[in-house]
């Protein structure tokens, strides 16, 4: 049971570790060799020095799992791999690619007789210990070659992974998953801000977060993580009020527009992340000036 893992960052590296510990032979390649050497020493992974070396160390049907950044990095790897692979081999894109790219790449691979599977992957840094949630898209005859590895990566052989549909369906499902994640996170953040704002009650946020973890309808893994963080630091003064957004959050909102399906919560959660990233604050400056112009309201000067 041999598979290649290309891209050994936080997710890819831990996935390689889990596969090795689950009995798979893993050929690992990363542009920076340090993590390769570490995984060879600690997990018994087999090192590769290039994509050509990766292919040479696999047996048919070769399975090459990519955990690379969405976009150009993944595109280049697939373009380089196609001429080196043979009919019946499989490329898996496990990064956060746009599902439209997955559909196009699947068609390109099919023209060369190469199987393609898109795998939406969730689990973060906890996946190594707890397993990953894997949402895969592809033709059944392609997916069947990868199922033994999905069973190792998932929390258990019979759960935490699913073949959800044709090529593109895996990344589409993960895209919507991330959109929902945005909304859930925003709801928790706003709720705890309201709790903190009620100064006269002097509420213990860590206590309440822990309380809600047990039998409450809002209990979840996100609440578990929040409770752990608040246990150590409720003021969060060392954390900048800046929240990045991934491509998948934007793509989810774009999909809602294309389908004409209302998704106000997911859309607003994305917009709130944009607001946190606005260093200039120009819209708010203009709002202040408008209030001054029509109502004579005082304008707070910069630095006050």
Residues that are catalytic:
174, 181
Q: What are phi and psi of 62, to 5 degrees?
A: -70, 140
What is the pairing mode between strands 2-6 and 90-93? unpaired
Select from 223, 28, 10, 17 the least CA-distant residue to 125.
10
Confirm if 133 and 11 have CB atoms less than 8 A apart.
no
What is the pairing mode between strands 46-47 and 133-137? unpaired
Bridge partners (DSSP) of residue 33 are: none
DSSP structural state of residue 177: H
Rounded distance between C-alpha atoms, residue 209 and residue 229, angstroms = 10
Report helix, strand or coil for 304. coil
Rounded distance between C-alpha atoms, residue 149 and residue 94, angstroms = 13
3-state helix, strand, coil in the chain (%, to 5): 55, 15, 30
């Amino acid at each position: 049971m041999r598979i290649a893992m290309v891209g050994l960052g936080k997710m890819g590296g831990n996935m390689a570790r889990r596969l090795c510990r689950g009995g798979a032979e893993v050929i690992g390649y990363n542009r920076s060799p340090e993590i390769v050497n570490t995984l060879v020493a600690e997990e018994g992974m087999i090192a590769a020095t290039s994509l050509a070396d990766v292919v040479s160390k696999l047996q048919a049907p070769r399975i090459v799992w990519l955990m690379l950044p969405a976009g150009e990095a993944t595109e280049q790897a697939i373009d380089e791999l196609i001429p080196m692979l043979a009919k019946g081999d499989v490329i898996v894109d496990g990064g956060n690619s746009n599902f439209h790219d997955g559909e196009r790449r699947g068609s390109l691979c099919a023209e060369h007789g190469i199987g393609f599977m898109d795998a939406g992957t969730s689990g973060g840094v906890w996946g190594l210990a707890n397993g990953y949630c894997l949402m895969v898209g592809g033709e059944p005859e392609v997916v069947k070659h990868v199922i033994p590895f999905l069973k190792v990566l998932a929390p258990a052989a019979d759960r935490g992974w699913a073949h959800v549909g044709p090529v593109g369906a895996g990344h589409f499902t993960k895209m919507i998953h991330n959109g929902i994640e945005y909304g859930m996170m925003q709801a928790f953040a706003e709720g705890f801000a309201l709790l903190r704002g009620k100064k006269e009650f002097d509420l213990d946020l860590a206590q309440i977060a822990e309380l809600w973890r047990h039998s409450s309808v809002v209990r979840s893994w996100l609440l578990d993580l929040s409770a752990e963080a608040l246990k150590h630091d409720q003021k969060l003064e060392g954390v900048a009020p800046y929240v990045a957004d991934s491509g998948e959050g934007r793509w989810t909102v774009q999909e809602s527009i294309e389908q004409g399906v209302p998704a106000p919560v997911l859309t607003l959660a994305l917009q709130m992340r944009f607001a946190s990233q606005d260093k200039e604050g120009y819209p708010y400056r203009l709002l202040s000036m408008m209030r001054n112009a029509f109502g004579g309201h005082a304008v707070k000067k910069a630095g006050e």
